[in-house]
Amino acid sequence: MTASTPQAQKPPAHVGMFQLLNGVFITGAIACLARLGIPDLVEHGPKTADELAAPTGADPRALYRLLRATASVGVLSESPDGKFSETPLSAVLRSNANPSLRAFAIMHGLDWHGLGWSNLEYCVRTGKPALDKIYGMPIFQFFEQRPEDGKLFNQAMSDLSTIDSPAAADAYSFGEIHSIVDVGGGHGLLLATILARNPHLKGTLYDMPHVVEGAKNGPLKPVMDRCTLASGDMFSSVPASADAYIMKHIIHDWPDDVCIKILKACREAVNPGGKLLVVDNVIQAGNDFAPGKFLDLQMLIFPGGCERNEKQFRELFAASGWRLSRVIPTTVPESIVEGIPA
């Protein structure tokens, strides 16, 4: 008779709940660390809190407490002599990292972001975005009023695009496509990545005039001989006669009625037999954790959009003159939802 192995006991539920609730503390500490530029300062060697206090303009004792806390979750490492070193997690917060999540981390510590999440109950009760209630305007108008916040947001989105654009470009075969329009493509990183991998392809970057103006010296510069810059209102029209229309993290910004306007404009413009490519999260059924399930709440709170499951994409496409043909997974949480003219 063999002795039974004792089962490892699960911690009490309140312990797990404390860990979840502490998430907001960790986020705040990491945002502060990024804003102070600490990861940049320890790139070339360990430093004490006293050594880091002067270049950051921080109180040495208070700074030590921040460093100790972030080191406890692997963002920095403290040695017995009180010096703090870079770790893989702190390295991605450097301004020169590739990819860099510094702007994304800083954004999570800003007032508008915190106020938005503190009004989640309002959003859940009403289905309305938080910033309309807090500031009396939608988020993209808010960024026009506070250009520094808008600049940081745009930098954070561009940095995220360095992760998901290559994944999308690698996951899809563009061999039969000869012309593509990136709708709401920002400064063109996704389009530049696709064009670089597909020398036969010609592209058009389409966004608001001030955004397109900022794209002229951006990622598209090496492929400008195969690229056109165009500006306008994607809710009413898009550049005509392309084989494919792609949009990444655009559809999730908006409720269905607004998305239908964008997708109908693409349907009217597309060449016969062309494609619609929507790069977004596709939410799966079940209780497994997925970043998209919380990004969905972010969309509820700020722009008023949502993440969708395959059925919701299928219905959205059908209402816009498209038929969902397949969902293509990538190496990141986003998938490519492909549509063909119905």
* Catalytic machinery residues: 252
Distance CA 158, CA 143 (A): 16
Distance CA 172, CA 86 (A): 36
- Dihedral angle computed from the Cα positions of residues 260, 193, 201 and 237, in that order, rounded to the nearest 10 degrees: 20
What are residue 32's phi and psi, to 5 degrees?
A: -65, -45
Pairing verdict, β 270-283 and 334-341? antiparallel
Distance CA 184, CA 193 (A): 15
Q: Angle of helix 23-36 relative to helix 13-21, nearest 10 degrees?
A: 30
Q: Is 341 exposed, middle or buried (0-12, 13-18, 19+ CB in 10 A)?
A: middle
Q: Count how many residues are written for the chain.
A: 342
Beta-bridged to residue 280, according to DSSP, are 335
Tokens 């907001």 locate to: 24
Question: 76 with 86: CB under 8 angstroms?
Answer: yes
Question: 319 with 256: CB under 8 angstroms?
Answer: yes
Contacts of 18 (CB under 8 A, 6+ apart): none
What are residue 143's phi and psi, to 5 degrees?
A: -65, -30
H or E segment at 258? helix 256-269
Task: Give the Cβ contact number of residue 231 at 10 Å.
Answer: 16
Per-residue tokens: 308: 């969708």
CA distances from 266 to 206, 224, 240, 256, 314 (A): 12, 23, 8, 15, 16
Tokens 């056109």 locate to: 228
